[in-house]
Amino acid sequence: MGLLPEQKIIAALRMLAYGTSADQVDEIVKMGKSTILKSLMKFCFAIEFIYTKEYLQRPTTIDLQKLLKKSEMRVFPGMIGSIDCMHWTWKNYPSAWQRAYGDIKWAKSIILEAMASFDTWIWHAFFGVPGYQNDLNILAQSSVFNEVLQGKALKVTYWVIGHKYDGAYYLADKIYSRWTSFVKTVPHQLSEKKKHIVRCQEGCRKYVERCFGIFQAHWVIVRGAARLFDLESL
């Protein structure tokens, strides 16, 4: 109670922005390790409570029109973003979970599935899946298509070479299934036209990867190994 709010916020921001541990911050802010960790959690919970509804919401009708207009300008009518997963290494995982959270590189990690648009707006995030799973397993568990299955999804109609199509789609890599919701790269680039389409498509598919890059550049805590023990806290 005797510590200033500025001390607590500085401690939380330094850990998030620089990826430092509580031991590295305690001398700077003159706080105990347990108080620093508690301040970090309270700060993150407050940010989540205040901004989740605004920044992790589904696109509204107006947002959707902006996404579709931008996609059409980039020669991909009906495309509203790209989907991919990111691994976050977990240092202090419970030893009983070491098999479940071991990825293909034998590192223990937690996976974040996200969808992002051209303006690096993440409007779907699903976090906490064990690192041994791949994108398909994660897709089966996430809520990304819940609104589609419930018939509540926003209606999207677009035309390609005189043919009418219903339903938006996302750009994805080759591991994803052959669903109408996913468009993947053309496997055999026979002509210059197809090569050009592939270059454009790969560039747009990098939306979500660019978003992950910006995310890790601004908040180095995500680039390093997670030090907390509780999965819900992470």
Report the distance separating Cα 203 and Cα 205, nearest Å: 5
Q: Mean pLDDT throughout 141-157?
A: 83
Beta bridge partners of 165: 158
Query: Is a pLDDT exceeding 70 seen at residue 31?
Result: yes
Percent of the chain with pLDDT over 70: 99
Q: Could you read off the pLDDT of 47-93 as tens digits, one per residue? A: 999 988 888 788 888 888 888 888 888 888 889 889 999 999 998 88
User: Which among 103-107, 146-150, 177-181 has the top mean pLDDT?
Assistant: 177-181
Q: CA-based Rg of the chain, rounded to a whole angstrom?
A: 21
State both tokens at 166. 């219903």
Confidence at residue 95, expressed as pLDDT on a 0 to 100 scale: 84
Q: Where are the domains of the chain?
A: 5-54, 56-222
Amino acid at 63: D
Say what the pLDDT of residue 40 is: 94
Whole-angstrom distance, CA of residue 208 vs CA of residue 85? 9
Quickly state the pLDDT bin for 43 (edges 50, 70, 90).
very high
Q: Categorize the per-residue pLDDT at 231 as very low, low, confident or very high, splitting at 50, 70 and 90.
A: confident
Average pLDDT, the chain: 88
Whether 105 shows a pLDDT value over 80: the answer reads no
Amino acid 64: pLDDT: 87
81: left (phi over 0), alpha (psi -120 to 50) or beta: left
pLDDT of residue 189: 64
Residue 208 has pLDDT above 70, yes or no: yes
Beta bridge partner(s), residue 113: 85, 126
Q: What dihedral do alpha carbons 187, 172, 108, 131 form, nearest 10°?
A: -100
In 3-state terms, what secondary structure has residue 229?
coil
